[in-house]
């Protein structure tokens, strides 16, 4: 065998593996520590959260467009892949210079510490998981790289190295699993199960017969199918017994209410269709649920906002904020502090124990989940979370419509085809939906009954379909007489516009 001053290639590969294994055991143990210091302090989640907070609106939009509501999984996967690449590089670096490798570990530790400490409400303990990860990574790296370089293939050093690296990686995975398990035991699942929802003061609205058109999406969206959009990588776990809502700022009468006090307030139940501003034309970031809650207006009346306070800022337990016009919340519409969704307590991802629901506004300016604070202020004085990220301060829902059947690209036999879908202009209401086949004149569709103007409405059209390739377009008109514009606009800054169009073949 020839000797060389350069490390042989095989030890370079082993050093890379050593780096990845050291990172694995470090990050895994950090997950165990984070089970005690809080999920937001996990270096993986904290770094992911910083990425979420720093991406501009259009990038967030792209992520939602590509990954849909799996954007969070994609983010964490991406973070893990990047970390593995970085760790391999640090391992290889360790062959040349242990000091530089230590610097690499220190940098990684510092990123974790800073990310965790800058999370909302983070105490000094939030740094602990990252610090533990850094120390463990350095020790494991030293141990493994030593074994990687002295792994002479003629003795069983290589085998010993692989076993050591395998043990480290397995310990990392085990740490991850144990950490997740410990975290899940601190979840508020049991507290949620124990909640008994109060009865509404008025009768529950009934869905009129015929509201559901065959082939269209469900008129009432099940909680399981309801879209979920938020910035939270691990939803806040709030025990109702400790929950409080503070109403303060530009008010004459600041007040704080507990969960018990909230449940004693008059409750109403209302169907309200919630929509996300990121919804593309034809998209499915929209759902209709039965919400149980207490009117926001009465609470605001008690707090007595000052006349200049034109913005109500809602703040969630994890520091997210949204700004709602005070005038909208006091104009008599059924804006709710909701505790129930479809007859059950809110689920944790949908805001347990309390969230806001406001008919007629996009979620990002109104539907604060895990709400703990309401501050009266002015639009001129405070920008809520999405505003500096490129979204409009005010977000009334734009009139929209969607073709649910047939699907784009469908093939059908000739004869009568039922074209059906949904249309929405929450709180204003839909007066007309029209369908256009190819370049023919717009024809009125049949509108199904809806519970109220606060929900979407279903529509249908019986189409005598001749053979050939066809294009179907839909547009809706609201009670203000406004017909949807044909001009396409992206979701940012204040909601997508354009006509939903599907192409199909009749043969």
Binding site for Mo ion (CB under 5 A): 229, 276, 363-364
Q: Which range, of 3-11, 156-164, 253-261, 363-371, touches ligand MTE by CB under 6 A?
A: 363-371
CB of 294 to ligand MTE, least distance (A): 18
Q: Which range, of 54-62, 90-98, 226-234, 389-397, touches ligand MTE by CB under 6 A?
A: 226-234
* Gap between the Cα atoms of 340 and 318, Å rounded: 21
Q: Is 243 in the site for ligand MTE (CB under 6 A)?
A: no
CB of 280 to Mo ion, least distance (A): 12
Q: Is 473 in the site for ligand MTE (CB under 6 A)?
A: no
Q: Is 316 in the site for ligand MTE (CB under 6 A)?
A: yes
Is the distance from CB of 454 to CB of 271 less than 8 angstroms? yes
Considering the complex, state which of residue 127 and residue 358 has its C-beta at the smaller distance from ligand MTE. 358
Encoded tokens for 72: 């969070």
By CB under 6 A, name the one of 72, 147, 350, 475 that touches ligand MTE. Answer: 350
CB of 287 to Mo ion, least distance (A): 12
Q: Is 424 in the site for ligand MTE (CB under 6 A)?
A: no
Considering the complex, state which of residue 62 and residue 163 has its C-beta at the smaller distance from ligand MTE. 62
Binders of ligand MTE: how many residues, by CB under 6 A?
18
CB of 139 to ligand MTE, least distance (A): 38
Q: Is 367 in the site for ligand MTE (CB under 6 A)?
A: yes
* Gap between the Cα atoms of 474 and 499, Å rounded: 6
CB of 212 to ligand MTE, least distance (A): 21
CB of 441 to ligand MTE, least distance (A): 36
Q: What is the per-residue DSSP string for 225-261? A: TS----S-SS-----GGG-EEEEEESBSS-EEEEHHH
Is the distance from CB of 448 to CB of 457 less than 8 angstroms? yes
Q: Is 364 in the site for ligand MTE (CB under 6 A)?
A: yes
CB of 101 to ligand MTE, least distance (A): 38
Phi-psi region of 434 (alpha: psi -120 to 50; beta: other; left: phi over 0): beta
CB of 481 to ligand MTE, least distance (A): 27
**Residue 369 interaction partner, one of ligand MTE, Mo ion, none, beta carbon < 5-8 Å per kind:** ligand MTE
Considering the complex, state which of residue 27 and residue 188 has its C-beta at the smaller distance from ligand MTE. 188
Q: Which range, of 42-50, 195-203, 221-229, 240-248, touches ligand MTE by CB under 6 A?
A: 221-229
Q: Is 136 in the site for ligand MTE (CB under 6 A)?
A: no
- Residue of minimal CB distance from ligand MTE? 363
Kindly give, in sequence order, each residue whose CB lies less than 8 Å from that of residue 323, ignoring residues fewer than 6 positions away. 311, 312, 313, 314, 365, 379, 382, 383, 384, 387, 393
Question: Nearest CA to 133 among 33, 251, 227?
Answer: 33
**Residue 320 interaction partner, one of Mo ion, ligand MTE, none, beta carbon < 5-8 Å per kind:** ligand MTE
* Gap between the Cα atoms of 420 and 446, Å rounded: 9
**Residue 243 interaction partner, one of ligand MTE, Mo ion, none, beta carbon < 5-8 Å per kind:** none
* Gap between the Cα atoms of 258 and 277, Å rounded: 31
Q: Which range, of 18-26, 72-80, 227-235, 325-333, touches ligand MTE by CB under 6 A?
A: 227-235
CB of 169 to Mo ion, least distance (A): 38
Strand 371-377 to 244-249 pairing: parallel
Encoded tokens for 404: 């649910």
Q: Is 363 in the site for ligand MTE (CB under 6 A)?
A: yes
DSSP state of 487: S
By CB under 6 A, name the one of 161, 271, 370, 456 that touches ligand MTE. Answer: 370
Encoded tokens for 309: 């306070």
The whole-angstrom distance between residue 279's C-alpha and the CA centroid of its chain comes to 13
Q: Is 230 in the site for ligand MTE (CB under 6 A)?
A: yes
Tell me if residue 73 falls in helix, strand or coil. helix
The dihedral over CA atoms of 223, 229, 230, 234, expressed in degrees to the nearest 10, equals 60
* Gap between the Cα atoms of 172 and 263, Å rounded: 44
Phi-psi region of 39 (alpha: psi -120 to 50; beta: other; left: phi over 0): alpha
Q: Which residues bind ligand MTE (CB under 6 A)?
A: 226-232, 274, 276, 316, 320, 350, 363-364, 367-370
């Amino acid at each position: 065998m020839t000797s060389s001053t350069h490390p042989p290639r095989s030890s370079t590969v082993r050093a890379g593996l050593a780096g990845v294994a050291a990172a694995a055991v470090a990050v895994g143990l950090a997950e165990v520590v984070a089970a005690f210091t809080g999920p937001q302090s996990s270096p993986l989640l904290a770094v992911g959260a910083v990425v979420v907070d720093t991406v501009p609106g259009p990038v967030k939009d792209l992520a939602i467009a590509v990954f849909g509501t799996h954007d969070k999984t994609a983010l964490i996967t991406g973070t893990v892949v990047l970390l593995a690449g970085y760790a391999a590089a640090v391992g290889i670096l360790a062959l040349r210079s242990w000091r530089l490798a230590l610097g690499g570990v220190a940098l990684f530790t510092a990123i974790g510490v800073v990310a965790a400490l800058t999370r909302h409400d983070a105490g000094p303990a939030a740094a602990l998981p990252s610090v533990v990860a850094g120390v463990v990574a350095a020790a494991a790296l030293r141990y493994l790289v030593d074994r990687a370089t002295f792994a002479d293939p003629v003795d069983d050093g290589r085998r010993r190295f692989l076993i050591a690296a395998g043990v480290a990686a397995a310990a990392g995975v085990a740490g991850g699993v144990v950490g997740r398990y410990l975290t899940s035991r601190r979840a508020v699942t049991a507290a949620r199960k124990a909640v008994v929802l109060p009865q509404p003061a008025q009768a529950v609205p009934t869905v009129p017969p015929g509201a559901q058109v065959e082939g269209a999406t469900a008129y009432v969206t099940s909680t399981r199918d309801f879209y979920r959009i938020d910035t939270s990588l691990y939803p806040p776990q709030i025990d109702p017994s400790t929950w409080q809502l503070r109403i303060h700022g530009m008010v004459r009468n600041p007040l704080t209410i507990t969960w018990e006090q909230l449940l004693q307030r008059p409750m109403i139940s209302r169907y309200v269709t919630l929509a996300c501003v990121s919804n593309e034309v034809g998209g499915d970031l929209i759902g209709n649920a039965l919400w149980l809650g207490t009117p926001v207006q009465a609470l605001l009346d008690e707090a007595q906002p000052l006349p200049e306070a034109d913005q109500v800022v809602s703040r969630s337990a994890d520091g997210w904020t949204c700004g709602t016009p005070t005038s909208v919340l006091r104009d008599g519409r059924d804006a709710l502090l909701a505790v129930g969704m479809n007859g059950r307590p809110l689920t944790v991802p949908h805001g347990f124990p309390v969230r806001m629901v406001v008919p007629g506004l996009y979620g990002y300016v109104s539907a604060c989940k895990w709400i703990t604070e309401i501050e009266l202020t002015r639009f001129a004085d405070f920008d809520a979370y999405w505003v500096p990220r490129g979204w409009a301060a005010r977000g009334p829902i734009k009139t929209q419509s969607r073709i649910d059947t047939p699907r784009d690209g469908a093939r059908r036999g000739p004869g009568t085809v039922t074209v059906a879908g949904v249309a929405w202009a929450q709180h204003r209401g839909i007066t007309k939906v029209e369908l256009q086949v190819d370049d023919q004149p717009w024809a009125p569709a049949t509108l199904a009954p809806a519970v109220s103007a606060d929900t979407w409405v279903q529509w249908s059209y019986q189409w005598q379909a001749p053979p050939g390739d066809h294009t179907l377009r839909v547009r809706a008109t609201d009670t203000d007489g406004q017909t949807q514009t044909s001009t396409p606009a992206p979701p940012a800054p204040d909601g997508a516009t354009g006509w939903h169009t599907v192409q199909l073949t009749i043969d």
